Amino acid sequence: RKHGVKSIIFSSSATVYGNPAFVPITEECPKGQCTNPYGWTKSMLEQILTDIQKADPEWNVILLRYFNPIGAHKSGTIGENPNGIPNNLMPYITQVAVRQAERAGCLR
């Protein structure tokens, strides 16, 4: 309020889907059947932010639900090989931060 900010991008998680009702998971997939405290925390914060936006339409809220934002074990034996082409978000953010890339694209 102090600075008049009414926009937020929330880094959520696909854990809000719990054990999904169907795959591939889409935004129509039911949420809130979380299986761990991390998922419940993300789900509750999504609900709070959604309620804020409903109560005050001047708010702009974007919820990003990552499936694997960070990656795998450094050995490459669990998850993706860290020396290959990344299939998660963090390597792309890092490349932009150190100016190896101009921007991070949308992963689908």
* 5-55 residue pLDDT tens: 999 999 999 999 998 888 888 888 898 889 999 999 999 999 999 999 999
Distances (CA, A) of 64 to 10, 14, 41, 46: 6, 9, 14, 10
51 or 78, which is more confident? 51
pLDDT confidence tier of residue 106, bands split at 50, 70 and 90: low
Q: Are 86 and 92 in contact (CB under 8 A)?
A: yes
The answer to whether 61 and 50 have CB atoms below 8 angstroms apart is yes
Same domain? 56 vs 3: yes
Is 66 known to be catalytic? no
Q: Looking at the structure, do residues 40 and 10 belong to the same domain, yes or no?
A: yes
Q: How big is the CA angle at 105 (ends 104 and 108), to the nearest 5 degrees?
A: 135
- Average pLDDT of the chain to the nearest whole number: 84
Give the range of the structural domain holding residue 26, as residue numbers without chain letter.
1-67
Q: Are residues 12 and 62 in the same domain?
A: yes
Count up the domains in the chain and report the number.
2
